[in-house]
Amino acid sequence: MPRPTTMLGVYAAVSVLYVGAAAASLTVVMTATKPLLMPALAAFLVSASPRPFTRMVRIVLGALAFSWLGDVLLEVSRLSDSDNLFLAGLGGFLVAQVLYVVAFAPVVRSSTPPRPPLWALAYVLYGAGLVAFLAPELGEFLLPVAVYAAAICTMGVVASGVNAWTALGAALFVASDTLLAVGRFTDLLTIGDNWERVLVIGTYLPAQGLIVVGVVIAQRGIWRTSPEPAAG
């Protein structure tokens, strides 16, 4: 089994390669590298986690799988300019956000006090405000975007109660999806398409990495307090 630091380095290297390709509009390189990102991050999580995997690790691996699906579908939708594939990619990330919430909720409930920090409730106001701001431009996308905004803001609230790594990762995830939505549905980002992608992916990839690092730290704490497996 490769060392966790090696797998995290692979994820970082592929991330830098993808962001560089996005900046240079190297479509072939982007298409080839994007499907490698979440598997590399999942390999880091697997290599850094003791066996048997905790419930949180198993669920987060599922979230990474659906994130991979979302990555691939959004990449194809970008190339084909397909609204249906965009919605399908959004659906993949919606499932990923729900899985993150399910994974983190027990950790937050068992914390002292058993709730995320008060500041995390700002996600509720932010999500509602963003949907209200975008609503005139969304048209048929209003409902799916509103549902997704509710899911990722809930994830932000819950992740903020796990540890600082997951909290920062969730904040960057919300920032990335905000940039994606503003760039797709408004004309406020008056920069080239390649630099818009750099902004979106340049916040998304660190977000996922920080969340998974936070999971590694959190689940090790859970592992130490879990009952020892029965002998034999």
Q: What is the pLDDT of residue 113?
A: 66
Instruction: Encode pLDDT of 80-120 as tens digits.
Output: 888 889 899 999 999 999 999 999 998 887 766 667 777 88
Asked whether residue 42 is assigned to any structural domain, the reply reads yes
Q: What is the pLDDT of residue 91?
A: 94
Q: What is the pLDDT of residue 50?
A: 87
- Arithmetic mean of pLDDT, 22-36: 92
Asked whether residue 37 is assigned to any structural domain, the reply reads yes
| Lowest mean pLDDT, pick from 23-37, 159-173, 180-194 | 180-194
Instruction: Encode pLDDT of 49-67 as tens digits.
Output: 988 899 999 999 999 999 9
Place of tokens 């066996």: 51
Q: What is the pLDDT of residue 205?
A: 97
Output the pTM of the full model. Answer: 0.89
Asked whether residue 150 is assigned to any structural domain, the reply reads yes
Asked whether residue 186 is assigned to any structural domain, the reply reads yes
Instruction: Encode pLDDT of 150-186 as tens digits.
Output: 999 999 999 998 899 999 999 999 999 999 999 888 8
Instruction: State how many domains the chain has.
Output: 1
Tell me the C-alpha distance between 196 and 187, whole Å: 12
Asked whether residue 230 is assigned to any structural domain, the reply reads no
Residues 34/18, Cβ–Cβ less than 8 Å: yes
Asked whether residue 195 is assigned to any structural domain, the reply reads yes
Q: What is the pLDDT of residue 232?
A: 36
Of all residues in the chain, the percent with pLDDT exceeding 70 is 91
Residue 88: give the domain boundaries. Answer: 4-225
Mean pLDDT of the chain: 88
Asked whether residue 138 is assigned to any structural domain, the reply reads yes
Asked whether residue 125 is assigned to any structural domain, the reply reads yes
Q: What is the pLDDT of residue 230?
A: 39
- Kindly indicate the confidence band of residue 1, based on its pLDDT and cuts at 50, 70 and 90: low
Of all residues in the chain, the percent with pLDDT exceeding 90 is 67
Q: What is the DSSP string of the chain?
A: ---HHHHHHHHHHHHHHHHHHHHTT-HHHHHHHHHHHHHHHHHHHHHHSPSSPPHHHHHHHHHHHHHHHHHHHHHHHHHHT-HHHHHHHHHHHHHHHHHHHHHHHHHHHTSSSSS--GGGGHHHHHHHHHHHHHHHHHGGGHHHHHHHHHHHHHHHHHHTTT-HHHHHHHHHHHHHHHHHHHHHH-S---S-HHHHHHHHHHHHHHHHHHHHHHHHHHHHHHHHHSPPPPP-
- Arithmetic mean of pLDDT, 187-195: 76
Q: What is the pLDDT of residue 79?
A: 82
